[in-house]
Amino acid sequence: GQQVMQIPQYQHVQEGEDFTTYCNSSTTLSNIQWYKQRPGGHPVFLIQLVKSGEVKKQKRLTFQFGEAKKNSSLHITATQTTDVGTYFCADFTGTASKLTFGTGTRLQVTL
């Protein structure tokens, strides 16, 4: 079956440093959705990317969808302690109405 891997598994940064997580799929992605899960919390929807090569920004967060639709990335500029959590990408297949989640990247930010 489809495998969606994220690297790195874990990253620890100092506040103010940048952070990037990469999402790679064994098969072509339909649409990519990104979620953030705070420690002890539940996933919270961040954004959806649909088109090949699409780039979207939300304040300090930049999301990209690969040209071949087999990878995606999330870049955070100048991290803050509020960015702490696990970031998941998920392949969203509308016809199947399901999310296939990536393995997640846990981000720790310290002062």
Would you say 45 or 110 has its CB closer to another protein?
45
Question: Measured between alpha carbons, how far is 72 from 89 in angstroms, rounded to an integer?
Answer: 8
Would you say 50 or 84 has its CB closer to another protein?
50
CB of 44 to another protein, least distance (A): 7
Applying CB under 8 A, the span of 8-16, 18-26, 43-51, 65-73 interacting with another protein comes to 43-51
Is there binding between residue 98 and another protein (CB under 8 A)? yes
User: Buried b vs exposed e over 14-49: b needs ≥16 C-beta within 10 Å?
Assistant: eeeeebebbbbbeeebebbbbbbeeeeeebeebeeb
